[in-house]
Amino acid sequence: MRITSPGDGVQLSRAPQFLLASLRGRLEVWVAVLVILTAAGFMLSRGVGFSIGLMTLFTLWGMLAISLNLVLGYTGLLSVGHIGFYGIGAYTVAVLTTNPRREFLGDEVIQIFAWPFFAALPVAVLLTGVIALFVGLVFSRFRDDLYVLASFGFAIISLNVFVNWQWVTRGPFGIHEIPKPAIGGFVFNDDLEFLALALFFLAVVAIIAWLIVTSSFGRVLKAVREDEDAVEVFGYRASHYKLAVWVISAMMAALAGAVFASYTSFVDPHSFILLESIILVAIVILGGLASIPGALLGALSFVLLEEGIRFIPLLPPEHVGQARQIILGVLLILLMLFRPQGVAGRFKL
């Protein structure tokens, strides 16, 4: 505090500095307020139907972002393969719940189960957990760069299975008419009802993730991220912890996939390409590494960007996709330069 020379110039130059400092110190708060206000304004201006769609997309990305943040933000494992688990969850529900009417693909008969959604959901989650266990056992040999490459391989392999295992997945044709969830005669048919269900699942995922990261287990995950060898000296099996969080995270991604399949009532391999995985990594880094609210913030920002960019004037519709990726890419680079932990993050890559 300078009292002796209270010149106007000093006062004026101090005010923006103070604002800037406050902006830096509380960037997460400011960005969260900005994003939520933008989302609210955007939804109010576009109407109810649009808002429900936007929010449902947000719940899907939110679940995925929390799932990946457990692995990437808390444990420091950069996985670009999470979209594979998302796909396995979606396809399991699709295959188990589809209606017998569309069972033929050429001469091949597609397996028909026609299970209710709530019976298929736990199977999808558990099956993904088992697959993740085996994948994770292989991955536990890798660290750092090799881990990224291995997870990259997993994303490619799972996509190829979706495309080529036509007897089950119907390949590029996709699986249609996936029914909406129904429980005891009540069908979540209406978009708003479905949104409520999706929000419920998002809440379940967020609460489980919060319980995990605030437990002793979560503390060990962070220590593994910081120094895997040192944490062993303190009696922890780092590989066991990595495997456990990997399986839990994969099951969360599968849950998101199951909700996605039921929401769109159609799955085909195009939803599970590598680019989606990379977008997911971007969302997590954008929102904040090692932060659950950060993951949600990242998901909301991305959904806003994805849906909002269409309304930018003078942008030809055919370039919307590219523009979105450019903006996301620039945001990522800016963050890596100036705030490597993401907006609300607790961990710098």
Partner 1 sequence: MSAQTDGRDAQPAIALETVELEKSFGGVHAVDHLSVRIPRGLITGIIGPNGSGKSTLINLLSGTLPMDGGTVIIGHRRLQTIRAHESPTNGITRTFQEIRLFPQITLMDNLLIAMTRRSVFSSLFQRGRGARRERAEAILWAIGLWEKRNDLAEELSYGQRKLLEIGRVMAMDANIYLFDEPFAGLALHMIELVKSLMRRLRAEGHTIIFVSHNIGIVRELSDYLIVMDSGELLAEGAPEPALNDPAVIEAYLGN
Residue 237, interface with partner 1 (CB under 8 A)?
Answer: yes
Of 34-42, 84-92, 157-165, 207-215, the window that binds partner 1 (rule: CB under 8 A) is: 207-215
Looking at beta carbons only, is 42 or 210 nearer to partner 1? 210
Residue 210, interface with partner 1 (CB under 8 A)?
Answer: no
273 within 8 A of 332, measured Cβ to Cβ: no
The one-character DSSP state at 104 is E
259 within 8 A of 267, measured Cβ to Cβ: no
Residue 347, interface with partner 1 (CB under 8 A)?
Answer: yes
Residue environment code for 8-38, b if the CB has 16+ CB neighbours within 10 A, otherwise e = eeeeeeeeeeeeeeeeeeebbeebbeebeee
Least distance in Å: CB of 341 to partner 1?
A: 9
Of 2-10, 41-49, 104-112, 227-235, the window that binds partner 1 (rule: CB under 8 A) is: 227-235
Closest CA relative to residue 95, chosen from 35, 169, 187, 186: 169
Return the H-helix or E-strand segment holding 136: helix 117-139
**Of 42, 50, 115, 217, the one binding partner 1 by CB under 8 A:** 217
Residue 348, interface with partner 1 (CB under 8 A)?
Answer: yes
How far, in Å, CA of 211 to CA of 4, rounded?
Answer: 53
Residue 233, interface with partner 1 (CB under 8 A)?
Answer: yes
Residue 143, interface with partner 1 (CB under 8 A)?
Answer: no
Looking at beta carbons only, is 3 or 233 nearer to partner 1? 233
Return the H-helix or E-strand segment holding 280: helix 274-287
| Sign of the C-alpha dihedral computed for residues 21, 295, 223 and 349 taken in this order | negative
Residue 284, interface with partner 1 (CB under 8 A)?
Answer: no
Residue 240, interface with partner 1 (CB under 8 A)?
Answer: yes
Site string for partner 1, 43-82 (x = CB under 8 A): ----------------------------------------
Dig out the tokens for 278 from the structure: 């990379």
In the complex, which residues of this chain contact partner 1 (CB under 8 A)? Answer: 212, 214-217, 219-220, 222-223, 225-227, 229-237, 240-241, 244, 346-348
